[in-house]
Chain A
Amino acid sequence: GIQVEQSPPDLILQEGANSTLRCNFSDSVNNLQWFHQNPWGQLINLFYIPSGTKQNGRLSATTVATERYSLLYISSSQTTDSGVYFCAVKRVDSGTYKYIFGTGTRLKVLA
């Protein structure tokens, strides 16, 4: 089945630094989302981005579907950006949908 891997697994930044998180997937996908999981477990939608580039404030994302990867950029990081970032993909497989979450990147931003 499709594999979704994220890198790096852990990241520590000083406040104000920039970072790039990567999501690689092993097969074509129809849908891709990025989420931020806060310390209480809530998954917060960041981007719905099956292809192309989007920006929302200090965050932006790019998906290159033909090369099977997506990138999440965080600029001028803040302590509130800490948490775990997940990418999640959907694809049609044997007449049904498969929903696969990546392994996650744990980000800690230091004041």
Chain B
Amino acid sequence: KAGVTQTPRYLIKTRGQQVTLSCSPISGHRSVSWYQQTPGQGLQFLFEYFSETQRNKGNFPGRFSGRQFSNSRSEMNVSTLELGDSALYLCASSPRQSIYNEQFFGPGTRLTVL
């Protein structure tokens, strides 16, 4: 079974631009979560989607948004990019929305904001 895939793997943008990242979960998994990893803040939860609805949200500004499609694929969008948005963005999938589920991570998208 194929793992979680994320595209693109690397991205360079300039301040003020917006960016869209994509995540395809493991086949049959319906819950997708997003995380941001930076050297200063570590790994932080952004949001979780299940059945095309945002179910949980971390403490990030409204510039960070996402959506999930009927095939469970998910996208996250960051608008008006800031230098501090430079990070590794990780997507994780699990079979369903349950606190007891194991999460499986993709390879990440490394975003650099200049």
Interface residues, chain A, CB within 8 Å of chain B?
A: 30-31, 33, 35, 40-45, 48, 50, 86, 88, 90-92, 96-101, 103-104
Number of A-B contacts (CB under 8 A): 56
Alpha-carbon distance between A101 and B42 when the two chains are bound, in angstroms = 8
Interface residues, chain B, CB within 8 Å of chain A?
A: 33, 35, 37, 42-45, 48, 55-56, 58, 88, 90, 92, 99-108, 110
CB–CB A35/B102 < 8 A: no
Residue of A nearest to B45 (CB): A99
Residue of B nearest to A104 (CB): B42
Alpha-carbon distance between A92 and B56 when the two chains are bound, in angstroms = 11
**Chain B proximity of A96: nearest CB distance (Å):** 5
CB–CB B107/A30 < 8 A: no
**Chain A proximity of B75: nearest CB distance (Å):** 20
- A sample of 15 cross-chain residue pairs with beta-carbon separation below 8 angstroms, ordered by A number, consists of A31-B100, A35-B105, A41-B37, A41-B88, A44-B105, A45-B103, A48-B102, A50-B100, A92-B99, A97-B55, A98-B45, A99-B35, A99-B48, A101-B35, A104-B42
Other A-B contacts than A31-B99, A101-B44, 4 sampled, CB-CB below 8 A, are A35-B105, A88-B43, A97-B55, A99-B48
CB–CB A86/B99 < 8 A: no
Alpha-carbon distance between A45 and B101 when the two chains are bound, in angstroms = 13
Alpha-carbon distance between A32 and B43 when the two chains are bound, in angstroms = 15
CB–CB B99/A30 < 8 A: yes
User: What residues on A are CB-neighbors of B101 within 8 Å?
Assistant: 31
Known contacts: A99-B33, A103-B42. The answer to whether A33 contacts B102 by CB under 8 A is yes
Alpha-carbon distance between A33 and B33 when the two chains are bound, in angstroms = 15
CB–CB A45/B104 < 8 A: yes
CB–CB B99/A97 < 8 A: yes
CB–CB B107/A42 < 8 A: yes
CB–CB B103/A33 < 8 A: yes
10 closest residue pairs by CB, A with B: A101-B43, A43-B105, A99-B45, A48-B102, A30-B99, A41-B108, A42-B107, A90-B99, A97-B56, A41-B88
